[in-house]
Amino acid sequence: MKSLTLERVSFWYPATEAPALRDVSLAVAHGEIVALVGAVGAGASTALLVAGDLAPRLTGGRLAGTVARRDRSAIVLPTPWTQLSGMAFTVWDEVAFGPANLGWPTHEIARQVDRAVEQLELGPLAARNPATLSGGELQRVIIAATLAMDAGLLLLDEPSAELDAEGARTVWRLIRALAKEGKAILLATSALDALPDVADRVVWLEDGAVRAAGTPDLLGEVAACDAGLGTSVATLWGASGLPGPYPLTVDHAVRLWR
């Protein structure tokens, strides 16, 4: 069942003539991970704002087309420090801020927060003041705060950007696990190398429009590599003049080579 459907959606930010999204149609089902990829300015972040009902509701601007949501959504912005509530003096309380505002009973808030803190491996930081955290630590806190709201549709904008290798691995693994639980996940990322193991589908946005959509194999196609959207291995394979199809990952390349 689809959790989110965008049908021929166009969106204009206030005081702009060119649309940031042009006629975009896409859907995300429960249990599915859809990754938006594209160059800077292609519209991936805007698509997430529209999906999360933040644009045009909070940004202003104008929307055309239809957006259908079956679930409550929660969003992780690419600027995690702007998402702190400013009302909490510990990481645990920060993660509890969203659930508390949903009006849940205390024991349910505690259950969801404890779970999210554990999922993001934040236990050792639970009593820290969020203001003293590093960028990567903060990003994990915001992801936990989003998960604690138990939304059916998760919107994640560059969820691994601030994370070290270990943190990124934890987050990608968690995203897969959440999809397995039945969450619908729409994410935007420039971490293209992670996608073959994470995404079910990839939507390539260019200049606000969908240029192509398909499995992550898309990231091994010549056109994607030429547009700077191939995985590192696929791009390298293409640059060395080897014939396609290009392998997406090191493991895939090794199999092909042998």
Partner 1 sequence: MIPALRFDAVTFSYGAGAVLRGLSFSITAGERVALLGKNGAGKSTVVRLIAGLERPAEGTVWVGDWNTRDCAPEQLAWRVGSVFQHADQQLFARTLREDVSFGPRALGVGAREVERRTDQALADLDLTAHAGHHPYDLPPALRKLAALAGALALEPALLVLDEPTIGLDRALRARLTRALLDRSLGSVALLVITHDLTFAAETLERGLVLDRGSLACDEPLAGLLGDVSRLEPLGLLPPPVAALSVALDLPGRPVRAADAARVLARVARGRPGP
Contact positions vs partner 1 (CB under 8 A): 38-41, 78-79, 81, 132-137, 158, 161-169, 190, 193, 228-229, 231-233, 235-237, 239-243, 249-250, 253-254, 256-257
Cα dist. 15→47, 56, 205 in Å?
18, 13, 22
Is the Cβ–Cβ distance between 204 and 35 less than 8 Å?
no
CB of 128 to partner 1, least distance (A): 10
Helix, strand, coil % in the chain, rounded to nearest 5: 40, 25, 35
CB of 2 to partner 1, least distance (A): 29
CB of 202 to partner 1, least distance (A): 15
Is the Cβ–Cβ distance between 177 and 116 less than 8 Å?
no
CB of 82 to partner 1, least distance (A): 8
To which residue do tokens 């997430």 refer?
Answer: 48
Nearer to partner 1, 1 or 40 (CB): 40
Nearer to partner 1, 25 or 190 (CB): 190
CA dihedral 121, 97, 184, 51 (to 10 degrees): -130
Distance CA 210, CA 238 (A): 24
Nearer to partner 1, 70 or 169 (CB): 169
Nearer to partner 1, 213 or 236 (CB): 236
